[in-house]
């Protein structure tokens, strides 16, 4: 059990569903690349300023020197925070002194589609593993269960099949074990 209360990793909670209306209202999708280990700090400051953001977090367990197991919430993509902000909000974010650089998102629709799938996958509670690079494999869609409709590629690691969900904009992703999941092969557009 974490010592601290859970951090808010998305603001507003329906950000990914409202992406189109935010864009029409003048918000530009931006990826902030933070200074080392400052993702949560930036997220807190964006929340205080009411700037829409998504900084996916996952639970990680570590053992203390005394042998005690501790759980903490860590960034899924270290160094990256996704935001929908106006130029003025972007300037305010840059003034937080937590950002190394910004990456403008020109084609925001594929990014939002990837982030929606990622959020759905994280909400299932399955253990995910960070995948630092895109790998080839069969494109599949899960047909039933809590992950129904999620699409990704199948890779074989350590004797097990895993579903890799890629955030194409970052060329990174996450994977989850494909244990007894009902999948169907699809044409690859990933």
pLDDT at 104: 95
Residue 3 is predicted with a pLDDT of 67
Give me the DSSP letters along 138-188: EEEEE-SSTTTT-EEEEEEETTEEEEEEEETTTTEEEEEE-SS--EEE---
Burial string for 173-189 (b: 16+ CB within 10 Å, else e) reads bbbbbbeebebeeeeee
User: Distance between CA atoms of 130 and 58, rounded to whole angstroms?
Assistant: 10
pLDDT, mean of each 10-residue run, the chain (190 residues):
81 97 96 97 98 96 89 94 98 98 96 97 92 77 89 88 92 87 77
- pLDDT given at position 156: 86
Question: Domains in the chain, please, with CATH?
Answer: 10-106 (3.30.70), 108-190 (no CATH)
Per-residue confidence (pLDDT) for residue 4, from 0 to 100: 74
What whole-number distance in Å separates Cα of residue 129 and Cα of residue 116? 17
pLDDT at residue number 138 = 86
Instruction: Give dist(CA 31, CA 104) in Å, integer.
Output: 6
Give pLDDT, residue 131.
84
CA 83 to chain centre: 12
Q: What is the pTM of this model?
A: 0.88
């Amino acid at each position: 059990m974490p010592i601290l209360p859970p951090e808010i990793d998305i603001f507003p909670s329906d950000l990914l569903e409202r992406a189109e209306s935010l864009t029409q209202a003048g918000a530009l999708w931006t990826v902030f690349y933070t200074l080392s280990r400052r993702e949560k700090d930036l997220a807190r400051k964006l929340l205080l300023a009411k700037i829409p953001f998504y900084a996916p977090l996952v639970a990680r367990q570590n053992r203390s020197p005394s042998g005690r197991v501790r759980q903490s919430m860590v960034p899924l993509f270290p160094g990256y925070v996704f935001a929908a902000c106006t130029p003025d909000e972007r300037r305010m974010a840059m003034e937080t002194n937590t950002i190394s650089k910004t990456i403008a998102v020109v084609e925001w629709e594929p990014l939002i589609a990837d982030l929606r799938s990622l959020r759905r996958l994280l909400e299932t509670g399955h253990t995910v593993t960070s995948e630092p690079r895109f790998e080839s494999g069969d494109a599949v869609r899960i047909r039933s269960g809590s992950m129904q409709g999620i699409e990704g590629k199948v890779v074989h690691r350590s004797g097990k099949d895993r579903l890799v969900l890629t955030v194409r904009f970052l060329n990174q992703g996450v994977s989850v074990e494909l244990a007894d999941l009902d999948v169907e092969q699809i044409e690859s557009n990933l």
